[in-house]
Amino acid sequence: MRIRGLFVLTALACTATGCSSIEPWVKPYDRENLADPIMSFSRAPISQDFLDHVFESREGSRGATGGGGGGCGCN
Amino acid sequence: MSHKARTRLSRYVITCLGLYSLAGGAFAGVLPEDRADVLYFRYDGGGVTINGPSMLVRKSIGEHVSVAANYYIDMVSSASIDVQTSASPYDDERTQSSLSMDFLHGKSTYSIGYVNSDESDYTAKTMFASVSHDMFGDLTTISFAFKSGQNEVFRNVKIDDVKQNDPAFNDGLGHADMESKSYSVSVSQIVTKNMVLSGQYEVITDEGWLNSPYRSVRFFIGTDAQGSQPEKYPNTRSSNAASIRAKYFLPWRAAVDGMYRFYTDTWGVIGHTAELGYVHPLDTKFAGGDWIFEGRLRYYTQTAADFYADIFPRADFSNFMARDKELATYNAITAGVGATYEFKIERFPWLSKGQINLRYDYMTISYDDFRDATYSLGKFGVLPDEPLAPGTEPLYELKANIFQFYISAFF
């Protein structure tokens, strides 16, 4: 039932928005703040890698740590 | 024989080191910028000191290709709580090198990479591939990634005072294999002109030798004595992790971000991670350059694995038995601060900017069911003057200082 509901909702959303031509609601010229380096999820990848290593060594959890689809695939 | 339980876990994880830096940008339609970084780090806590350098270089070739290389050295000096109760302190070194390539085609970025890690009793080879695609006016980026790791485990022994791999390990084979695979999907979404959201789901499966070749569990003998036997882990482990993170640009040019991750696996561990961060650049130049300050707070909590116990009721109590404190019930808090000094050098027009960075993190972990067994077993074989009864020792706490100093150059 839940999956069917999801399909109906998606269909309604597509009908309302015209799935093939979704207009970006944040225009490219409005993305100045998003392009600021301080908005990067990892300003310093070399440092983030090291900290991720520390956390994964000390924590039982692993994976889904970001990095452009990254995470740890080795344990 | 040195007890290298923690290092082993480090090796699993360290194999992934570089994946963040090698994994390209968060948005598919743009190649990451050219840069070179040199990092020196030092971790000091729980009797373990790890320090070393890491070097990362990323360079574009033409307009569609970017390559990255990372070289990393871990120098470990360990007298951890596990080592104190069952072995001698040890020193070891691990080196890791990795290479990756991103290829930009239209609104898609294809990435491949390879990571090689070598240590005296553990080798790991990991390959990864991913594809990212921008859609809906570049507001949305969806990524799929796959990783595969082949690991070989050994056990070091000292024969005639010379450290070497134990030929008797794993029923005389001398080595054991572990294979790991990871599948992940992630979505980044620009929500407003000041906010970006990102979600990720990752499944990881392991098969093969998963426990430490060194660590033991302890068990009661009667009511006031204890014995030990090697750990016994299942040969498989599958985990699911889902995370969501958001970053928001504040009106006074600063950014605040938050992250939550839920984790569960077939060993019965359930983990929750939450993190808050704040980045604040100074408005005015100071000492001839720009300054960026950062603060971060992380909270982590987990439940124990089904087969974990600080001390088991008797020997061979169950099929699987573990006393790895990272499989116990505990919570951790980490607080960090960082400062970046950003500058340009007129004489070097090819250098778009340089950065000098300092970062310090303090981590404290409180275990709910992992006791400090040195109160009953002593340290390095030396019994305490008044040993406590097994199972009555105080709960263990770990505190660690983490330093980073790194220089970055952007071209």
Q: Which of B10, B13, B43, B135 to mutate to test the interface with A (most CBs of A within 10 A)?
A: B13
- Nearest-by-Cβ selection for B145 from A34, A42, A69: A69
- Nearest-by-Cβ selection for A61 from B23, B273, B406: B273
Contact B92, B6 (CB under 8 A): no
Reference B129, options A68, A53, A75; nearest CA is A68
Contact A55 B361 (CB under 8 A): no
Contact B197, B257 (CB under 8 A): no
- Nearest-by-Cβ selection for A44 from B137, B257, B408: B408
Other Cβ atoms within 10 Å of A20 Cβ, number: 6
- Residue predicted with more confidence, B36 or B18: B36
Q: Which residues, 6 or more positions from B67, have their beta carbon under 8 angstroms from its beta carbon? A: B58, B59, B61, B99, B100, B101, B102
- pLDDT (average), residues A41-64: 92
The answer to whether residue B350 scores a pLDDT higher than 80 is yes
Chain A hits for B15, Cβ within 8 Å: 72, 74
Å between B379 CA and nearest CA of chain A: 22
Reference B243, options B303, B202, B299; nearest CA is B202
For CA atoms B312, B178, A56, B96, give the dihedral sign: positive
- ipTM rounded to 2 decimals: 0.90
Q: Which residues, 6 or more positions from B171, have their beta carbon under 8 angstroms from its beta carbon? A: none
For CA atoms B158, B164, B167, B173, give the dihedral sign: positive
Q: Would you call A73 helix, strand, or coil by DSSP?
A: coil
In angstroms, the CA B111 to CA B132 distance is 9
DSSP code of residue A7: H
* Lowest-confidence segment of A13-27, B225-239, B267-281 by average pLDDT: A13-27
Quote the pLDDT of residue B27: 53
Chain B hits for A47, Cβ within 8 Å: 39, 357, 359, 404, 406
- Nearest-by-Cβ selection for A33 from B115, B138, B194: B194
Q: Which of A17, A36, A49 to mutate to test the interface with B (most CBs of B within 10 A)?
A: A49
Reference B203, options A63, A52, A14; nearest CA is A63
Reference B33, options B65, B58, B64, B68; nearest CA is B58
Other Cβ atoms within 10 Å of B385 Cβ, number: 5
- Residue predicted with more confidence, A10 or B99: B99
Contact B4, B371 (CB under 8 A): no
pLDDT (tens digit per residue) in B81-109: 888 887 778 888 999 999 999 999 999 99
- Residue predicted with more confidence, B20 or B408: B408
The answer to whether residue B278 scores a pLDDT higher than 70 is yes
**Encoded tokens for A66:** 């970001």
pLDDT (tens digit per residue) in B163-191: 889 999 999 999 999 999 999 999 999 99
pLDDT band, residue A71 (cuts 50/70/90): very low
Q: Which of B20, B134, B202 to mutate to test the interface with A (most CBs of A within 10 A)?
A: B20
Bridge partners (DSSP) of residue B375 are none
What kind and span of H or E run contains B60? strand B48-61
**R_g of chain A computed on alpha carbons:** 19
Domains of chain B by range and CATH?
5-410 (2.40.160)
Contact B58, B102 (CB under 8 A): no
Nearest CA in chain B to A75: B12
In angstroms, the CA B242 to CA B252 distance is 32
Contact B23 A69 (CB under 8 A): yes
How many CB pairs below 8 A link A and B?
A: 251
Chain B hits for A60, Cβ within 8 Å: 263, 269, 271, 302, 305, 326-327
Å between B386 CA and nearest CA of chain A: 31
Q: How many CA atoms lie within 13 A of B32 on its CB side?
A: 28
Contact A74, B147 (CB under 8 A): yes
Contact A66, B185 (CB under 8 A): no
Burial class of residue B184 (count of CB atoms within 10 Å of its CB; 0-12, 13-18, 19+)? buried
pLDDT band, residue B197 (cuts 50/70/90): very high
